[in-house]
Amino acid sequence: MLNPSAHPHSACPGCGAELPVTDGAMHAYVGASSACWTRFAEINTSLPFAPLRRLVTDAYMVQHPGVPERRAIQSVCLHLVGLCLVLEHGLPADRLSATLQRILVRPPAWRWLDPPVPNGTLTIHDVAGAVDIDAYVRGVWQAWTPHRSQVEAWTAVALRSR
């Protein structure tokens, strides 16, 4: 049996989870380690229904914002709007993707928002350990409270486009 402590670990740059170092899949602009990105993909595909997967994806993406470049900025902002629409405005999660597609037709002037520290109280790895998924999603959303007024302004654009 292998000794797990004999394998090197490193912190994911997004969520901070200590994970084994791997040389695997990476995302072009999401700020996640290879091990974290791979684990997210495994967990997300195992979730029981699409609306739940959508919210977990939104939380994961804002928890792994990457660096201030156009694709990362748009991604984080759009995922924050998604969380706001569902958690604060009661949009049914199964209508979220269509609503966000409409906002992308005429997107607002997205801008980089400095990620909170810590960026949530749980990580996707906690979700793998059967932690309440709602607590994960809400914890990440709560971490972004300092930017709530900006996210609400972008959300207003989404609500007008419904």
pLDDT, tens digit (0-9, with 9 covering 90-100), for 98-156 = 889 988 888 899 999 999 999 999 998 888 665 688 899 999 999 999 999 999 999 99
pLDDT at 7 over 70: no
Q: CA–CA separation, 22 vs 6, rounded Å? A: 14
Q: What letter would DSSP give residue 64?
A: S
Q: CA–CA separation, 60 vs 79, rounded Å? A: 9
Tell which residue, 56, 84, 93, has the closest CA to residue 155: 84
Residue 43 · residue 131 · CB < 8 Å:
no
Q: CA–CA separation, 46 vs 7, rounded Å? A: 27
pLDDT, tens digit (0-9, with 9 covering 90-100), for 17-44 = 988 888 777 888 999 999 999 989 988 8
Domain ranges of the chain: 4-160
pLDDT, tens digit (0-9, with 9 covering 90-100), for 84-102 = 999 999 999 888 888 899 8
